[in-house]
Amino acid sequence: MNDEFPDHDDDAPVQEPRLWQGNGWTARVIKNEDDDGWAVAMYKDGESEPALVGPWTMGRDKKNPKPLDTPAFHTLVKTASEVIRRHEQQLHAQLHKSTVVSTADGELKVTLDIVPDEDNPYALLSAFDQMGERVAQVRVRPDFKLSPSSASTWIENDFRAPR
């Protein structure tokens, strides 16, 4: 129970003209700092920064914002979720790279997985055979550049950690 508002049900969805909550999201219509218009900020529950901020339509009086409604909220949730998904995909692509190298014994998949530790970042360079079994793994600098050439050199050097 909320002490400030004893009659308020914490689990009830908020559906106000400028504030909607539901499905793990909060939409807040705010004054656009860049001009005289309005913007909407989408917050994922538990996050302090908005996942998405975009322009919001003026109401009929051309002064106040158009009120939020169910279809608009669902569209905003879908758009903000997509923004987060693309950001996660981009981050994953930056932290996980792979290449395939042909050797006398067959193809090896070589992966580089960066561990972005704040105090001691590093990366793991790994080689996998055609059955998916890991045949080697070494710790390397987080700025190691994985390429077919660097992977081949690593394999040719008996999987010793590159310097």
d(Cα 109, Cα 94) in Å, to the nearest integer? 18
d(Cα 121, Cα 105) in Å, to the nearest integer? 33
pTM, rounded to two decimals: 0.66
Count of domains for the chain:
2
CB 26 within 8 A of CB 13: no
Classify residue 141: in a domain, yes or no: yes
Classify residue 52: in a domain, yes or no: yes
Classify residue 75: in a domain, yes or no: no
d(Cα 32, Cα 16) in Å, to the nearest integer? 19
143 and 107 in a common domain: yes
64 and 21 in a common domain: yes
Q: Which domain holds residue 119?
A: 95-156
Q: Which helix (H) or strand (E) holds 16?
A: strand 15-16
Classify residue 78: in a domain, yes or no: no
pLDDT tens figures, 94-149:
999 999 999 988 999 999 999 988 899 999 999 999 999 999 999 999 999 999 99
Give the amino acid at 59: G
